Amino acid sequence: NPVTGKYTVPFIEGDGVGPEISKSVKDIFAAAKVPIEWEPCDVGPIFVNGLTTIPDAAVQSINKHLVALKGPLATPIGKGHRSLNLTLRKTFNLFANVRPARSVPNYKTTYQNVDLVLIRENTEGEYSGIEHVISPGVIQSIKLITKDASERVIRYAFEYTRAIGRPRLVVVHKSTIQRMADGLFVNVAKELASEYPDIELQTELIDNTILNVVTHPESYTDAVSVCPNLYGDILSDLNSGLSAGSLGLTPSANIGDKVSIFEAVHGSAPDIAGQNKANPTALLLSSVMMLNHMGLNEHATKIENAILSTIASGSENRTGDLAGTATTSSFTEAVINKL
């Protein structure tokens, strides 16, 4: 906004615990004097010709402002419409899902010093939704891999690796079995590698990756990993479990050609909604990724340090999911005091 000097960011607060954890983000951003004005964004859903879509006003707002922050959206089971999360991904062509998974200093989980960054192809592979009944009891399910989508996500992964100053990009695959599909993914990475001489490209079979991550997670602290859709879905949850012991601390970014949407990995937590119990950390760390994406790095670092030092400061400042006694609002207060 040329008048206020602030950025406008659409905010989809989401369902269940969404409004509570969104309030925490707003309060902390206001206290940290981040130059952002939030624009409430309602993503529907509406149904057109049997298809789920989101309201035009939301699409226009996100397209205009290029970034959005998103709380969890509940997906009603068996109501016959596509998940809103999938709808958002398709609407804005959010082709790369970036999932960092880092241990929190002084918060003890099974593993310490985990610092993994995974980039998942977000548009095709096993999620193309192409399945057929060949004959009764025989199903064919198609994994679609294209050169264009592979190139787009792998190029983004090279750029991201360079931007965060890591020397290594690991392509995770199973081209020994999926010779053509994963073979294409790996070959695209090898072709692109010549454009990134400062980054070492490694290829690794998914089963080896799983074993290595579980036994030596610290061996990936100098790397970024990139993989096709389904492997990324599974591996990113494994990484979250290793780093934080839960999804409750894991942020993510959905990167598109034009628009990027930042969101917590967890769902709407209906079991604790409205009880001031939810941990806002995952949404807060997603908002920190958004600030870095926008170039507001100083604000990002200040807020991230306040969050991590609050969690480190003891169980009275941790929410119930981290075996602490804090509420959403008392945790938020503690973070504000650390800013």
Residues that bind ligand NAD in the complex, under the rule CB under 6 A = 17, 21, 72-75, 85, 248, 263, 266-272, 278-279, 282, 321
Shortest Å, Cβ 165 to ligand NAD? 29
Q: In the complex with ligand NAD, which residue's Cβ is closer, 175 or 239?
A: 239
Stated length of the chain: 339
Q: In the complex with ligand NAD, which residue's Cβ is closer, 279 or 310?
A: 279
* Residue number with the smallest Cβ distance to ligand NAD: 267
Q: In the complex with ligand NAD, which residue's Cβ is closer, 150 or 229?
A: 229
Shortest Å, Cβ 336 to ligand NAD? 18
φ and ψ at residue 251, rounded to 5 degrees = -95, 170
Cβ distance 101 to 243 under 8 Å?
Answer: yes
Shortest Å, Cβ 272 to ligand NAD? 5
Q: In the complex with ligand NAD, which residue's Cβ is closer, 169 or 282?
A: 282
Q: In the complex with ligand NAD, which residue's Cβ is closer, 9 or 199?
A: 9
**β 168-173/223-227 pair status:** parallel
Shortest Å, Cβ 266 to ligand NAD? 4
Cβ neighbours, 10 Å, residue 2: 5
Q: In the complex with ligand NAD, which residue's Cβ is closer, 269 or 285?
A: 269
Shortest Å, Cβ 326 to ligand NAD? 11
Shortest Å, Cβ 30 to ligand NAD? 21
Cβ distance 34 to 227 under 8 Å?
Answer: no
Q: In the complex with ligand NAD, which residue's Cβ is closer, 119 or 269?
A: 269
Nearest to 331, CA basis, from 320, 319, 321 = 319
Radius of gyration of the CA atoms of the chain, in A? 20
Nearest to 61, CA basis, from 132, 9, 126 = 9
Cα–Cα dist 157/37, whole Å: 30
Cβ distance 54 to 83 under 8 Å?
Answer: no
Shortest Å, Cβ 27 to ligand NAD? 16
Cα–Cα dist 203/225, whole Å: 9
Cα–Cα dist 284/250, whole Å: 10
Cα–Cα dist 210/185, whole Å: 19
Q: In the complex with ligand NAD, which residue's Cβ is closer, 125 or 324?
A: 324
Shortest Å, Cβ 299 to ligand NAD? 22
**β 115-121/223-227 pair status:** parallel
Nearest to 220, CA basis, from 289, 100, 117, 104 = 117
Nearest to 289, CA basis, from 254, 317, 318 = 254
